[in-house]
Chains A and B, each alone.
Chain A
Amino acid sequence: MATATALPADARPPAHEQRPASIRARLWARPGGRAALILVALLILAAALAPVLAGLEGQDPNTYHDGLLNSATGGGPSGAFGGISSAHWLGVEPSTGRDVFARLVYGARVSLLVAGGATLGQLLIGLLVGLAAGLGNRWVDAVLGRFTDLALSFPALFFSIALLAVVPHSFPRPLLLCLILAGFGWASTARIVRAETLVLRERDFVAAARLYGAGTWRIARREILPGLAAPVATFTALAVPGNMVAEAGLSFLGLGVQPPTPSWGQMLSSATTWFQTDPEYVLVPALTLLLCVLAFTALGEAVRRAVDPKEQER
């Protein structure tokens, strides 16, 4: 993509350009893929327009509404279904009275941002390590291979928990979450990239490029990378929901995004103490996160099918 200006348009092999476009078309052609795409697009839109949506409702995520709480239930919202009203579309938070809808749409920003950033990080590290292992000499491959094995047999969750506890809170949390999730999650991408690279490097067009005097870096970028599009696209699409769950989980444990920044994980963890009196407050973040994860998983599955040559024959 970034190299598009490096060569005149007619010198580019047309196959490289058509491939991603046809993946997109195949994705759109399947009803499942289309539904997932639309749902994911709506979610991203909701996150991007969080201030607008909250403004439409006339609320913001951080204002306390003590007047809407019922002291008889220990600070639960007054009114049915968690205090749902025309002013508060999804009710208010117990004990603080903050607007649930506003916190939900703002929480989507953190969720998508961290999931996207972490996936991008995993992809970059995985591509670099995988390409280097696949194209480098035996020694490089062996060292990186050990390194990848090590990363795969790591108790990543415990490490993340430990790191999040130790790093000072002055360090921006969403960035830290991205770094940690990327730092522990690149290994399987690297494996796939290496395996695909080992196949691609034996192909004639790579030999031809080498004959023309292309260096390793240029071969990696111009010859190998386009061929990796399919497996990498699948893997990336399936990694997003995983990272989303990881972020929500770590925030749920109180180690992720810190208050007052709204996040779904935090909403879930504060909801657990309101089980009995205010089940609606539990359901809203739980079902939203569930919907998001399922939508992204369905999209990932659709991408896998659109890319997989075996599925085309059916």
Chain B
Amino acid sequence: MTVFLLRRLLQAAAVLLVVAALVYGIFYLMPGDPASLACGKRCDAAELAQVRHAMGLDRPVYLQFWTFISSLFVGHSYDTGVGTTWCSAPCLGYSFQSYQPVTDMLLQRLPVDASLTVGAAILWLGLGIGFGLFAALRPNGLRDRVTTFVALTLGSVPIFILALLLLLVFCVWWQVLPFPTYVPLTQDPGQWFENLLLPWFAIALVSAGGYLRLTRAGVLEALNQDHIRTLRAYGYGERRVVTRHAVRGALPTVATMAATDIGVLLGGAVFTETMFGLPGLGKLAVDSANDIDLPVITGVTLLAAFLIVVVNIVADVFYAVLDPRVRIR
């Protein structure tokens, strides 16, 4: 187990390093000078040279990259011209637009994505596993085919269209819900819940189909096994056999997929946040891309990659814990 974790962590570190190098490469080596972007429109040659020096852009590329990576772990001091500021680890630099530390900006946005993820995950797991069991009770029957078809269709609807239609129906036509704005949980739990209801449903309806399929397939496979035959021989009813015992056959794959999806969602739900006007990491990515705010979008991308990598390791461990047949090597 320890060896496995160590190896996975090493691999994860390698992936993150490559991602960092690529993001860094895209932005700092592309046409378009970061210094002139940071400096703004009215910027004379002397000021530009000073900004360039302050950002370290006058140094060789490999040194710049090294500074970028090392400041993630030990922080970095910036020469602002009138003095130095200390950016403590994990330092991702300062925004060109707001001059805030990027790390702080990311941390401010994270609660929005956490709220979004928690509610959506509970919903899609409930819907997916629930209807998956419902479909597995009588495989290839009418209700199996109807639920599978509905789930498949919903699953292929683009999230921004579903969001748009939900907004149109619930906020414009029926006016039963407010146009979502983010209210922090700590400020007003009721408002928080009401405002996040539509985003949660939008994500969950699109995602639940995959879980339905996995649950259904896992349960149907488990139903062929000996322990289920024994339970049936004891005279347990079909419903009980499926919902209490066969469901365990589906758990490892469902948990693995859930871990991956949750990791991706935590890193920012670009379309959901844009559509519903929620100030999360995905919205931050889009806004900073439109402003060509390089340090910020670099930070968002790295954080997203970090979450994906971490969650993949968690998913592997999950799988091994939930399925005793899998040995971690």
Binding site for B on A (CB under 8 A): 149-150, 153-155, 157-159, 161-168, 241, 245, 248-249, 252-255, 268, 271-272, 275-276, 279, 282-283, 286, 289-290, 293-294, 297, 301
Contact = CB atoms under 8 A, between A and B. Distances in A.
A289 B305 CA distance: 30
B185 interface: no
A276 B165 contact: no
B289 A255 contact: yes
Nearest to B140: A314
Given A275-B168, A279-B168, A161 B158 contact: no
Closest 3 CB pairs of A and B: A165-B289, A155-B304, A158-B301
Contact of A154 (B164, B271, B297, B305): B305
Interface string B261-281: 000000110110011000000
Q: For A153, A155, A254, A289, which residue has the most chain B Cβ atoms within 10 angstroms?
A: A155
A161 B160 contact: no
24 contacts: A150-B18, A153-B312, A155-B19, A155-B305, A155-B308, A158-B297, A158-B304, A159-B23, A159-B26, A165-B289, A245-B158, A249-B270, A249-B271, A253-B274, A253-B286, A254-B290, A268-B164, A275-B167, A282-B164, A282-B168, A290-B158, A294-B156, A294-B157, A297-B156
Given A153-B309, A161-B286, A162-B289, A249 B26 contact: no
Grouping DSSP codes into helix (H, G, I), strand (E, B) and loop, the A interface class, with mixed when no group exceeds half, is helix
A286 B290 contact: no
Contact of A153 (B22, B171, B268, B308): B308
Contacts of B297: 158, 161-162, 165
A153 B285 CA distance: 18
Interface stretch (B27-35, B55-63, B77-85): B27-35
B307 to A, nearest CB: 8
A161 B289 contact: yes
A274 B286 CA distance: 21
Interface string B1-29: 00000000000000100110011001100
B301 A293 contact: no
A253 B157 CA distance: 17
B117 to A, nearest CB: 15
Contact of B165 (A165, A168, A286): A286
B57 to A, nearest CB: 16
B161 interface: yes
A158 B15 CA distance: 16
B164 A253 contact: no
B107 interface: no
Q: For B15, B18, B161, B172, which residue has the most chain A Cβ atoms within 10 angstroms?
A: B161
Contacts of A283: 168
Interface string B244-269: 00000000000000000000000110
Given A166-B32, A254-B286, 8 more contacts: A154-B305, A162-B301, A245-B158, A249-B160, A253-B270, A276-B172, A279-B168, A289-B161
A56 to B, nearest CB: 28
Interface in B273-329: 274-275, 285-286, 289-290, 292, 297-298, 300-301, 304-305, 308-309, 312
Nearest to A276: B172
A215 to B, nearest CB: 33
B153 interface: yes
Contacts of B26: 159, 162-163, 166
A150 B304 CA distance: 14
Interface of B: 15, 18-19, 22-23, 26-27, 30-32, 152-153, 156-158, 160-161, 164-165, 167-168, 171-173, 267-268, 270-271, 274-275, 285-286, 289-290, 292, 297-298, 300-301, 304-305, 308-309, 312
Given A157-B270, A253-B274, A255-B289, A275 B172 contact: yes
Contacts of B156: 241, 293-294, 297
A289 B161 CA distance: 8
Contacts of A161: 270, 285-286, 289, 297
B302 to A, nearest CB: 9
B160 A158 contact: no
Contacts of A168: 31-32
Q: For A162, A163, A245, which residue has the most chain B Cβ atoms within 10 angstroms?
A: A162
A301 B268 CA distance: 30
Contacts of A297: 156
A297 B155 CA distance: 10
B179 to A, nearest CB: 9
A150 B31 CA distance: 26
A156 B165 CA distance: 26
Nearest to B19: A154
Contacts of B160: 248-249, 252, 268
Nearest to B275: A272
Contacts of B268: 158
Contacts of A167: 30
A153 B158 contact: no
Contacts of A255: 286, 289-290
Contacts of B290: 165, 254-255
Contacts of A159: 22-23, 26, 301
A111 to B, nearest CB: 12
B161 to A, nearest CB: 5
A268 B274 CA distance: 12
A170 to B, nearest CB: 10
Contacts of B289: 161-162, 164-165, 255
Given A155-B305, A248-B158, A294-B153, A162 B168 contact: no
Contacts of A294: 153, 156-157
B308 A158 contact: no
Contacts of B23: 159, 162
A155 B307 CA distance: 10
